[in-house]
C-alpha cells in the first residue's frame, strides 16, 4: 500500500510556515525527497532510505549539501512519525560536515589605494566610476557585505549623524553602522554626483547605475575582478584577492589595532560581532586564527598578561 507523501509534505510545510519558520530550503529539497520515496515505492521513511537519498553522488561529501538534506529529512520524519509510528527518525551524527574556511587575502591600505587608482582605467563613465569608487571605499572602511551595500536605501544613509542603517541583512536583523568622517564625506560627495546625473531615479537605492536602476551584484563583482587584475593587487600572493575579503580585512585590521593599543580584545569582540552583523561572536573569533599577525599579537599578549587592559 502506497503512502501519499506529497500530501503529508504539503501539510508539514503549511504547519511549519504557520509557526514562522524560514522554509526556502525545505520547499526546494522536500519535493525531491518525496519524489525519491515515490520512485522506490517506499511505504514509510527509514534510516536506510534517508541515507540513500541524502548521500546521492550528485554532490560530494565534502560539501554542506548532505547535512542540509539530512536536517530536512529528519524534520519531515519527525512529523511523519506522528502519523505512522513505523517511521524511523534518522539519528544525529550519521552525516557530518566540517566548515571549510577559505584563507582570506588581507588588503593593505596601499592595496585599497591601488584598486581605487585603477577605477578610471576600467570604468570610463562618471557616475559608474563614482559608484564603484565609493562602494569599494565603504566596504573597506565598514566591513559591510556587498549585498548590504547594494540594497542600501537613500533613507538608510544619514550623512548628518554619520550612521548607516542596514536592514534585514544576512540573518534578518537590522543594525546601525557608525561612519568615519571621511566615509561620510565620500558618501555625501557621491550623492551629489548621483543626483546630478540621475535627478529622477527609478529606485530608492543609494547606489545606482547611470539609468537610475539598482547596482547588479554580478556586474559589480566582474568590475572588481578587473580592478584586481589591472591594479596588480595580490600578484605576489598565493591567495587570490576576493571582493568579500574587504570585509575580512576590515575585521583583521580592527583587531590588530586593538591589540597594538593594548585594548581588552575579549571584551571588545562582541561589539565588533554586532557591528559586522555576525549571528554569533564565534564567527568574529575566527579572525583571530585567520591572520599570522593577529596570532603573533595574541601570543605576545598571553606571554605578557600584565599588559592586558593598560590602555582601556
C-alpha torsion 100→103→109→114, nearest 10: -100
- Given the C-alpha cell 596601499, which residue does it identify? 110
Please, what sign has the CA dihedral across residues 39, 41, 46, 52?
A: negative
Query: Of 247, 248, 253, 275, which is the active-site residue?
Result: 247
Query: Of 74, 248, 253, 278, which is the active-site residue?
Result: 278
Query: Of 102, 170, 240, 260, which is the active-site residue?
Result: 170
Query: Of 244, 283, 285, 301, which is the active-site residue?
Result: 244
Is 128 an active-site residue?
A: no
Query: Of 74, 128, 145, 194, which is the active-site residue?
Result: 145
Is 278 an active-site residue?
A: yes
Query: Beta strands 163-166 and 157-158: pairing type?
Result: antiparallel
Residue 165 neighbours by CB distance under 10 Å:
14
Is 244 an active-site residue?
A: yes
Is 247 an active-site residue?
A: yes
Residue 177 bridge partners (DSSP): 164
Query: Of 79, 190, 275, 287, which is the active-site residue?
Result: 287
CB 132 within 8 A of CB 118: no
Catalytic residues: 145, 170, 244, 247, 278, 287
Amino acid at each position: 500500500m502506497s503512502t501519499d507523501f506529497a500530501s503529508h509534505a504539503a501539510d508539514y510545510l503549511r504547519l511549519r510556515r504557520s509557526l514562522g519558520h524560514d522554509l526556502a530550503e525545505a520547499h526546494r529539497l522536500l519535493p525531491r525527497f518525496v519524489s525519491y520515496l515515490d520512485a522506490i515505492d517506499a511505504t514509510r521513511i527509514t534510516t536506510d532510505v534517508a541515507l540513500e537519498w541524502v548521500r546521492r553522488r550528485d554532490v560530494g561529501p565534502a560539501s554542506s549539501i548532505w547535512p542540509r538534506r539530512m536536517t530536512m529529512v529528519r524534520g519531515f520524519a519527525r512529523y511523519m512519525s506522528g502519523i505512522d509510528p513505523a517511521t524511523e527518525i534518522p539519528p544525529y551524527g550519521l552525516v557530518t560536515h566540517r566548515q571549510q574556511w577559505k584563507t582570506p587575502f588581507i588588503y593593505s591600505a596601499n592595496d585599497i589605494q591601488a584598486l581605487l587608482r585603477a577605477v578610471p582605467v576600467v570604468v570610463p563613465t562618471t557616475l559608474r566610476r563614482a559608484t564603484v569608487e565609493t562602494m569599494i571605499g565603504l566596504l573597506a572602511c565598514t566591513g559591510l557585505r556587498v549585498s548590504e551595500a547594494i540594497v542600501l536605501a537613500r533613507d538608510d544613509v544619514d550623512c548628518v549623524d554619520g550612521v548607516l542603517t542596514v536592514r534585514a541583512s544576512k540573518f534578518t536583523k537590522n543594525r546601525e553602522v557608525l561612519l568615519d568622517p571621511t566615509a561620510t564625506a565620500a558618501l555625501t560627495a557621491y550623492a551629489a554626483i548621483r543626483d546630478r546625473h540621475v535627478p529622477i531615479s527609478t529606485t530608492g537605492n543609494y547606489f545606482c547605475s547611470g539609468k537610475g536602476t539598482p547596482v547588479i551584484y554580478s556586474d559589480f563583482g566582474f568590475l572588481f575582478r578587473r580592478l584586481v587584475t589591472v591594479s596588480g593587487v595580490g600578484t605576489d600572493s598565493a591567495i587570490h584577492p576576493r571582493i568579500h575579503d574587504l570585509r575580512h580585512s576590515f575585521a583583521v585590521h580592527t583587531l590588530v589595532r586593538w591589540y597594538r593599543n593594548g585594548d581588552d580584545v575579549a571584551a571588545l569582540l562582541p561589539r565588533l560581532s554586532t557591528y559586522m552583523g555576525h549571528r554569533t561572536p564565534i564567527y568574529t573569533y575566527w579572525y583571530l586564527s585567520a591572520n599570522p599577525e593577529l596570532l603573533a599579537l595574541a601570543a605576545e599578549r598571553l606571554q605578557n598578561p600584565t599588559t592586558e587592559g593598560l590602555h582601556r
